[in-house]
Structure 1
Amino acid sequence: MNSTPVDDKVLRGVLDRWKAAVHAHEPARVAAEFTEDAIFQGLHPYTVGRQGVADYYASQPLGMTAEYRILETRRLADNVVLGYLSVDFSFTDRPALTVSLSVLVKQSPDGDQISHYQVSRLN
């Protein structure tokens, strides 16, 4: 893994909040982890902005959980960290779904947020 402890900490800070909001099924709280102009690509057509993120997570089933593992990180700029992850989404009524996730986290004095989110199914 090409990663630094500082970059991992940045990603984990945002992703742990994202994960907690996903587990609580609180779409507005999930969306708050994204920048206002975030590009979001789940497994449906992409959206731009927090409302699209909130709508996407509102459509997810109750009981869905997410467990992530950081595979790679890169510092792209002083205030931008790229993360490449494996994420297992688990459900109460069907098998888990494993996806690859790329995120760009923008650091700011007001708090770190996701500015780009791209999910891929590789299998």
Structure 2
Amino acid sequence: MKQILTSVLDQWKSGVDAHDPERVAALFTEDAIFQGLHPYGVGRATVSEYYDSQPLGMAAQYRILETRQLADDLLLGYLTVDFTFTDRPALTVNLSVLLRHIGDDWLIAHYQVSKL
């Protein structure tokens, strides 16, 4: 369970760190509910637009706090993420993700950030 979550989140981190919004968006389902620090949206285009608007040099460092397998094809992850920037202090958030097994892939179907 944790290995699956780590695999997806490592790919997400790699795309975020490389400022590659299309690569990040490809990790989400077509109908993913996405709530970053802006109003929510649905779908990969929303995810891509969100990460494209992030500053160059932003990087993510995550730590998994909890995982739950809700069904054979659903995993819940709760984590903390430190987003670092080149020109301002780091931002620490909590992140909940729901991963769905579709075909051979685990994709993010729900993503919700909250600031503490």
TM-score (norm 2): 0.98
Which of 70, 91, 98 is the equivalent residue of 1:104?
Answer: 98
Question: Alignment length, in residue pairs?
Answer: 116
For the pair 1:120 / 2:114, whether they are aligned, the reply is: yes
Q: Which runs of 5+ in 2 are unaligned?
A: none
Alpha-carbon distance in 1 for matches of 2:22, 2:57: 16
Give me the TM-score of the superposition, normalised by structure 1. 0.93
Q: What secondary structure does 1:107 align onto?
A: strand
* Alpha-carbon distance between aligned partners in 2 of 1:40 and 1:60, rounded to the nearest angstrom: 15
What one-letter code is carried by the residue in structure 2 that aligns with 1:40?
F
- Structure 1 consecutive aligned stretches of length 4 or more whose deviation exceeds 3 Å: none
Counterpart among 65, 76, 81 of residue 87 in structure 1: 81
Percent of aligned pairs sharing the same letter: 67
1:46 aligns to 2:40 (yes or no): yes
Residue 12 of structure 1, aligned match among 6, 30, 34 = 6
For 1:37, which of 7, 18, 31 is the aligned residue? 31
Larger proportion of strand: 2
Superposition CA RMSD, Å: 0.6
Q: 1:52-67 to 2 correspondence within 5 Å? A: 52-67=46-61
Q: 1:62 corresponds to which letter in structure 2?
A: L
Q: In the aligned structure 1, how far is the partner of 2:79 from the partner of 2:112?
A: 10
